[in-house]
Chains A and B, each alone.
Chain A
Amino acid sequence: GNSVTQMEGPVTLSEEAFLTINCTYTATGYPSLFWYVQYPGEGLQLLLKATKADDKGSNKGFEATYRKETTSFHLEKGSVQVSDSAVYFCALSRTLIGGTSYGKLTFGQGTILTVHP
């Protein structure tokens, strides 16, 4: 079945530090990959996405590249801010050959990021 594995957290960084959150996946077919962010007391917000191999998703200074050969979609940001403190979720949705697809996202366990001034 499908699965997403994220690096263990929590991650604590100082402001302006470089961020990497690792994400690897297992899926059949051709999944689309996503990063979602959840701020305290809120729902999930789509941060970025990629639909095929070698695609790079980017938003608000965050980037992730769809690596089919390593089945990875690591999240990076060059300089984090205190306001980036949140929980980050890697997720996939699966589309099978022939167009049959499934209306669900499979999420990783989430990585808590805390950024100190």
Chain B
Amino acid sequence: KAGVTQTPRYLIKTRGQQVTLSCSPISGHRSVSWYQQTPGQGLQFLFEYFSETQRNKGNFPGRFSGRQFSNSRSEMNVSTLELGDSALYLCASSPVSVAVANRVGYGYTFGSGTRLTVV
């Protein structure tokens, strides 16, 4: 079956612009999480959606936002881009609610990421 699909794979934006990244989870998966990966900070949690509701949010400024649609596809948006937003953005999906996933130790399936470069 198809894995987690993230589009686009690469993106170059100018400081001050905004960007929207897309994530299509594995069919049947209802939970989608987003992570930012940078050489300096490593992997940091952005937010998590389940059944179109944001369930958890990391320590990022309000410029970072997201949403989930009824088909479980998710988008994240970054407004007023800064140079420091350059990173690999990873999306992960899980078939069950996060409460169940964590209780049984279900690892999430990650996409290949979107490489965002802000110039």
Residue positions of A touching B, CB distance < 8 A: 32-34, 36, 41-46, 49-51, 89, 93-95, 99-110
Q: Which of A42, A45, A50, A95 contacts B102 (CB 8 A)?
A: A95
Q: Does B75 contact A (CB under 8 A)?
A: no
In contact, A32 and B111 (Cβ under 8 angstroms)? no
* Given known A93-B102, A105-B45, contact A46–B107 (CB-CB < 8 A): yes
Q: Does B87 contact A (CB under 8 A)?
A: no
How many residues on chain B are close to A (CB under 8 Å)?
Answer: 30
| B1-35 interface code vs A (CB 8 A; 1 in, 0 out) | 00010100000000000000000000000010101
In contact, A44 and B102 (Cβ under 8 angstroms)? no
Most chain A CB atoms below 10 A, which of B55, B92, B98, B105: B105
Report the Cα distance A50→B105, complex, angstroms.
7
**Residues of chain B in range 44-62 having any CB-CB distance to chain A below 8 Å:** 45, 48, 50, 55-56, 58
Q: Does B101 contact A (CB under 8 A)?
A: yes
Measured CB to CB, the nearest residue on chain A to B49 is: A103
Q: In the complex, what residues of A have CB within 8 A of residue B102's CB?
A: 32, 93-95, 101-103
